Amino acid sequence: MNKIGIMGSGAFGTGLASALSNADNKIILWGRNSNNAKYINSKNTNQHYLPNIKIPKSIFATSDFQDLNNINVLLMVTPAQHLRETLNSFKIKNLKCPIIVCSKGIESKTGKLQSEIVKDVLGNIDCAAISGPGFAIELAKGMPTALTLAADDLDLGKKLQSMLSSETLRLYLSNDLRGVQLGGSLKNVYAIACGIIVGSNLGESARAAVITRGFAELSRLAHAMGGNINTLNGLSGFGDLALSCTSQLSRNFSYGQQLAKSGNLQPNQTVEGISTALATIKLAEDYNVEMPIASQVALVLSGKTTIGTALKELMRRPLKKENII
Catalytic residue positions?
187
Buried b (16+ CB within 10 A) or exposed e, 115-139: bbbbeebbeebbbbbbbbbbbbbbb
CB-side neighbour CA atoms (13 Å) of 35: 2
Backbone angles phi, psi at 28, to 5 degrees: -110, 110
Q: What is the DSSP letter of 142?
A: T
Burial (Cβ within 10 Å: 0-12, 13-18, ≥19) of residue 18: buried
Which among 178, 76, 214, 48 has a CA at the least distance from the CA of 39? 48
Q: What is the DSSP letter of 66?
A: G
CA distance 16 to 312: 41
